[in-house]
């Protein structure tokens, strides 16, 4: 897993500004067997009708648009991010029940308006849990 | 009708990278079935265990959500496009839920379990699961002691202990709940007192009786998970079978000398103990810990690992040992792992089980009184090698388990696992010399004793087993 720093910055500020509601967005980049590289993030509005302090929704329409965007940018739609206000950056049961296989999930925990942690996850092959992805490097630190 | 199904990018890894697939069908349902027919790996991605579409799946025909058409029965016609479009939903726990959970712990518990609360994998939710959980521990000995100490310490709400023994001086080398003052007292009385002193917040129930086919079904009923700390085969098979009958997980642990084995048997999701060992070894073939000895600290290593598995199963943290057997060797200080398969022909958890209620386990394991001792002659690995090279007419008999044979074996050896020897005696020629070996010796000696008692005149133990053979004769073999 590798992500560029300006992507990190944009997602972090989106999460903090959305507090106490959950924010969400898509992640774009390139993937080969040895590494997933995230090079762009695109915030979208949380389309969930209520309970946005602990729920988010990205609609099929938003998903389609994101796929088209990926084509335009000549990269892949690899995952999505969302924030957990006042809750750890680990997938909840609800996340598990709605998870899309093969999709990278970045979860950010925001405690009392401050970013606490962010962790990367992907659904296991048996759909029973999320497995954590390790961030190998951050492009600007090279 | 030929239609195109559009595949979203995350699912293309299951369609050989294809973004659209041509399929036939009259309805959306048929189109999906035919798609899965071409790419079977898609089935578990799109459908859950109940064969219902997973939450993320949205289907569109001619640009319309099928929920507003005729759902899966929506008709399709030639040239239509069926689009699978995910929606991405999720989110943290509800605040009101968490507040409710938080209110179930008092100030003392907050401090007591504070190191658990700060682990995201456990946290408030996991600690609540522990508090509501019930674990029945069979045996208050070497394995049951450390397991019960940790389960009480971490706040498992209801702990049951089954044992009927009294504390003996020879227990104190490894049974860490008892002290020299406790000799002669019932184990459960002491265990309950110590565990309650460690954590007054948990409930300890004691059952001072031998576990038997008569009481096991009733005893197990009130518990979520069973932890097997027994030291004998009849009880081990009894625990396994009743767990399978009642659909309960069984945290298995066993110890011998310097070696330990740990697994989590849950027949609903993986193999059971009988899938691993169909039948017990003939009586006398495997020496007990009392005969063979056991390293004092070994049961605490294994019992603590069993407690770890119980905690993980209860809280849902991490990956459990379901389908895996963990092997610990204290002498080489190594852990190995063996994959376990569910046996479809298993008599208790297979497709057509023949055992559906507790049986006579003493009879099944053929447990009888003490038998007279015989002495087994020894032969060194070098002598065996010489005999092999000179073409002597003798037989090398490997009595280890299949997984050990797969790791390393002597080319010329005949492989008959210990348990199978009685039923395969006819494969052995009593007129030939038989050299028996296992990994290091104990099993080979027991097997040789058995053969001698069966009337084989010339049986020897290859001293030091395949381990010594590997170190001194054939270093190309794998050590384990």
CB distance B65–A60 less than 8 Å? yes
Higher pLDDT, B181 or B278: B181
Asked if A68 reaches chain B (Cβ–Cβ under 8 Å), the answer is: no
Question: Does a cis peptide bond (omega within 30 degrees of 0) precede residue A14?
Answer: no
Q: Indicate whether A134 pLDDT > 80.
A: yes
Asked if A137 reaches chain B (Cβ–Cβ under 8 Å), the answer is: no
Positive or negative, the CA dihedral B355, B358, B363, B369 is positive
User: By CA distance, what is A117's nearest residue in B?
Assistant: B120
Confidence of residue B432 (pLDDT cuts 50, 70, 90): confident
CB distance A24–B58 less than 8 Å? no
- How far is the alpha carbon of B252 from chain A, nearest alpha carbon, in Å? 23
Asked if B11 reaches chain A (Cβ–Cβ under 8 Å), the answer is: yes
- How far is the alpha carbon of A5 from chain B, nearest alpha carbon, in Å? 24
CB distance B90–A55 less than 8 Å? yes
Which of A32, A87, A116 has the most B C-beta neighbours within 10 Å, making it the best mutation to test the interface with B?
A87
Q: What structural domains does chain A harbor?
A: 2-137 (3.40.140.10)
B58-72, B295-309, B326-340: least confident range: B58-72
What residues are paired with A104 via a beta bridge?
A79, A122
CB distance A63–B11 less than 8 Å? no
Q: Indicate whether B369 pLDDT > 60.
A: no
Find the length of chain A: 142
Tokens of B2: 């030929």
Give the integer Cα–Cα distance in Å for A81 and B406.
46
Q: Are strands A130-133 and A114-123 parallel, antiparallel or unpaired?
A: antiparallel
With residue A71 as reference, give the H or E element that holds it. helix A60-73
CA distances from A129 to A90, A92, B88, B126 (A): 11, 10, 16, 15
Higher pLDDT, B391 or B264: B264
B214-218, B247-251, B274-278: least confident range: B274-278
Q: Give the end-to-end CA distance of chain A in Å, rounded to a whole number.
A: 14
The predicted structure's pLDDT at residue B202? 96
Asked if A25 reaches chain B (Cβ–Cβ under 8 Å), the answer is: no
- For B2-86, CATH gives 3.10.20.30
Residue B282 contacts residue B366 (beta carbons within 8 Å): yes
Confidence of residue A140 (pLDDT cuts 50, 70, 90): very low
- How far is the alpha carbon of B128 from chain A, nearest alpha carbon, in Å? 15
B149-153, B167-171, B253-257, B361-365: least confident range: B361-365
A119-123, B273-277, B449-453: least confident range: B449-453
The predicted structure's pLDDT at residue A4? 84
CA distances from B460 to A8, A63, B172, B204, B409 (A): 69, 72, 36, 50, 18
Q: Among candidates B150, B3, B20, B10, which has minimal Cα distance to B74?
A: B3
Residue B189 contacts residue B177 (beta carbons within 8 Å): no
CB distance B91–A103 less than 8 Å? no
CB distance A98–B60 less than 8 Å? no
By percentage, how much of chain B surpasses pLDDT 90? 59
- How far is the alpha carbon of A26 from chain B, nearest alpha carbon, in Å? 10
Given the residues B272, B289, B346, B349, select the one marked as catalytic: B289
Helix (H, G, I), strand (E, B) or coil at B170: helix
For residues A76-88, average pLDDT:
92
What residues are paired with B398 via a beta bridge?
B415, B437
The predicted structure's pLDDT at residue B100? 60
pLDDT, tens only, A61-75? 999 999 999 999 999
Which of B41, B45, B82, B90 has the most A C-beta neighbours within 10 Å, making it the best mutation to test the interface with A?
B90
- How far is the alpha carbon of B351 from chain A, nearest alpha carbon, in Å? 22
Residue A119 contacts residue A107 (beta carbons within 8 Å): yes
**Catalytic residue list contains B275:** no
CA distances from A128 to B10, B57, B130, B249, B308 (A): 18, 17, 20, 17, 20
Give the integer Cα–Cα distance in Å for B423 and B200.
53
CB distance A63–B10 less than 8 Å? no
Higher pLDDT, A138 or A79: A79
Higher pLDDT, B260 or A90: B260
Helix (H, G, I), strand (E, B) or coil at B204: strand
The predicted structure's pLDDT at residue A31? 86
Q: Indicate whether A137 pLDDT > 80.
A: no
The predicted structure's pLDDT at residue B291? 62
- For B133-364, CATH gives 3.40.50.720
With residue B314 as reference, give the H or E element that holds it. helix B298-315
Q: Indicate whether B80 pLDDT > 70.
A: yes
Give the integer Cα–Cα distance in Å for B354 and B345.
10
On average, the pLDDT of chain B sits at: 89
Give the integer Cα–Cα distance in Å for B46 and B44.
6
The predicted structure's pLDDT at residue B94? 53
Asked if B317 reaches chain A (Cβ–Cβ under 8 Å), the answer is: no
Confidence of residue A44 (pLDDT cuts 50, 70, 90): very high
Tokens of B47: 């459908």
Q: Can you tell me which residue has the tokens 């005969």?
A: B291
The predicted structure's pLDDT at residue B52? 85
Give the integer Cα–Cα distance in Å for B448 and B462.
10
ipTM comes to 0.85
- Among A54, A80, A91, beta carbon nearest to B88: A80
- How far is the alpha carbon of A68 from chain B, nearest alpha carbon, in Å? 11
B73-82, B103-112, B146-155, B264-273: least confident range: B103-112
User: By CA distance, what is B6's nearest residue in A?
Assistant: A64
Could you tell me how far CA B166 lies from the centroid of its own chain?
A: 29
The predicted structure's pLDDT at residue B93? 66
- Among B13, B88, B92, beta carbon nearest to A63: B88
For residues B325-331, average pLDDT:
95
**How many Cβ atoms from other residues are within 10 Å of residue B400's Cβ?**
24
Residue B237 contacts residue B228 (beta carbons within 8 Å): no
CB distance B8–A67 less than 8 Å? yes
The predicted structure's pLDDT at residue A141? 40
On average, the pLDDT of chain A sits at: 87
CATH class of B378-472: alpha beta
**Catalytic residue list contains B272:** no
Chain B hits for A87, CB-CB cut-off 8 Å, are 92-93, 98
CB distance B10–A48 less than 8 Å? no
Helix (H, G, I), strand (E, B) or coil at B364: helix
- How far is the alpha carbon of A134 from chain B, nearest alpha carbon, in Å? 16
Confidence of residue B450 (pLDDT cuts 50, 70, 90): confident
CB distance B55–A97 less than 8 Å? yes
Domain boundaries, chain B: 2-86, 133-364, 378-472
With residue A44 as reference, give the H or E element that holds it. strand A35-44
Higher pLDDT, A56 or B369: A56
Q: Indicate whether A111 pLDDT > 90.
A: no
CB distance A100–B88 less than 8 Å? yes
CB burial string B446-470: b at 16+ within 10 A, e below: bbbbbbbeeebeebbbbbbbbbbbb
At residue B26's C-alpha, the angle toward residues B30 and B43, to 5°, is 15
Tokens of B28: 């959306």
**How many Cβ atoms from other residues are within 10 Å of residue B293's Cβ?**
12
CB burial string B151-179: b at 16+ within 10 A, e below: bbebbbbbbbbbbeebbeeebeebbbbbe
Radius of gyration of chain B (CA): 28
Helices (H) and strands (E) in chain A, counts: 3, 9
The predicted structure's pLDDT at residue B101? 65
- 72-101 of B, contacting A, C-beta below 8 A: 85-95, 98
Helix (H, G, I), strand (E, B) or coil at B215: coil
Chain A hits for B14, CB-CB cut-off 8 Å, are 101-102
Q: Indicate whether B284 pLDDT > 70.
A: no
Q: Indicate whether B223 pLDDT > 70.
A: yes
């Amino acid at each position: 897993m590798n992500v560029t720093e300006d992507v990190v910055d944009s997602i972090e500020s989106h999460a903090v500004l959305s507090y106490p509601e959950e924010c969400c967005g898509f992640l774009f980049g390139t993937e080969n067997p040895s590494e997933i590289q995230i090079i762009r993030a695109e915030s979208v509005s949380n389309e969930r009708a209520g309970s946005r302090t602990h729920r988010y929704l990205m609609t099929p329409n938003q998903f389609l648009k994101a796929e088209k965007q990926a084509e335009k940018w000549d990269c892949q739609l690899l995952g999505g991010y969302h924030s957990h206000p006042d809750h750890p950056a680990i997938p909840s049961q609800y996340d598990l029940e709605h998870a899309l296989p093969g999709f990278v999930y970045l979860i950010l925990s925001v405690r009392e308006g401050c970013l606490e942690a962010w962790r990367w996850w992907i659904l296991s092959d048996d759909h029973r849990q999320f497995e954590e992805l390790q961030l190998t490097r951050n492009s600007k630190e090279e | 009708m030929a239609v195109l199904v559009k595949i979203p990018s995350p699912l293309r890894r299951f369609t050989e990278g294809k973004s659209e697939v041509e399929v036939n069908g009259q309805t959306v349902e048929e189109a999906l079935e035919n798609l899965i027919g071409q790419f079977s790996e898609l089935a578990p991605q799109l459908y859950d265990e109940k064969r219902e579409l997973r939450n993320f799946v949205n289907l569109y025909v001619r640009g319309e959500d099928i929920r507003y058409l005729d759902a899966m029965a929506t008709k399709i016609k030639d040239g239509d496009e069926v689009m699978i479009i995910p929606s991405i939903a999720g989110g943290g726990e509800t605040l009101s839920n968490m507040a409710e959970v938080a209110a179930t712990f008092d100030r003392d518990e907050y401090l007591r379990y504070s190191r658990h609360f700060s682990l995201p994998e456990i946290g408030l939710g996991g600690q609540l699961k522990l508090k509501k959980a019930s674990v029945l521990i069979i045996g208050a000995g070497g394995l049951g002691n450390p397991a019960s100490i940790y389960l009480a310490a971490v706040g498992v709400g209801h702990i049951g202990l089954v044992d009927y023994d009294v504390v003996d001086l020879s227990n104190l080398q490894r049974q860490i709940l008892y002290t020299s003052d406790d000799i002669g007292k019932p184990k459960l009385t002491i265990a309950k007192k110590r565990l309650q002193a460690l954590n007054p917040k948990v409930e300890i129930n004691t059952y001072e009786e031998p576990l038997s086919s008569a009481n096991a079904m009733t005893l197990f009923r009130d518990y979520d998970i069973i932890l097997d700390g027994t030291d004998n085969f009849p009880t081990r098979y009894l625990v396994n079978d009743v767990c399978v009958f009642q659909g309960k997980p069984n945290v298995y642990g066993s110890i011998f000398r310097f070696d330990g084995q740990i697994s989590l048997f849950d027949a609903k999701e993986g193999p059971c103990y009988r899938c691993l060992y169909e039948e017990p070894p003939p009586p006398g073939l495997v020496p007990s810990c009392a005969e063979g000895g056991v390293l004092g600290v070994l049961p605490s290593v294994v019992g603590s690992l069993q407690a770890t598995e119980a905690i993980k199963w209860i809280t849902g943290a991490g990956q459990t040992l379901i389908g895996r057997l963990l092997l610990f060797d204290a002498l080489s200080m190594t852990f190995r792992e063996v994959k376990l398969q569910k046996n479809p022909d298993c008599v208790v958890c297979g497709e057509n089980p023949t055992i559906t209620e507790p049986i006579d386990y003493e009879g099944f394991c053929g447990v009888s009184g003490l038998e007279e001792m015989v002495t087994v002659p020894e032969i060194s690995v070098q002598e065996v090698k010489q005999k092999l090279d000179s073409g002597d007419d003798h037989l090398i008999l490997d009595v280890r388990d299949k997984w050990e044979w797969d790791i390393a074996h002597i080319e010329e050896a005949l492989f008959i696992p210990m348990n199978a020897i009685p039923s395969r005696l006819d494969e052995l020629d009593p007129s030939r010399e038989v050299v028996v070996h296992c990994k290091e010796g104990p099993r080979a000696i027991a097997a040789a004793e058995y053969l001698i008692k069966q009337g084989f005149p010339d049986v020897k133990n290859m001293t030091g087993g395949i381990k010594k053979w590997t170190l001194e004769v054939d270093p190309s073999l794998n050590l384990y």
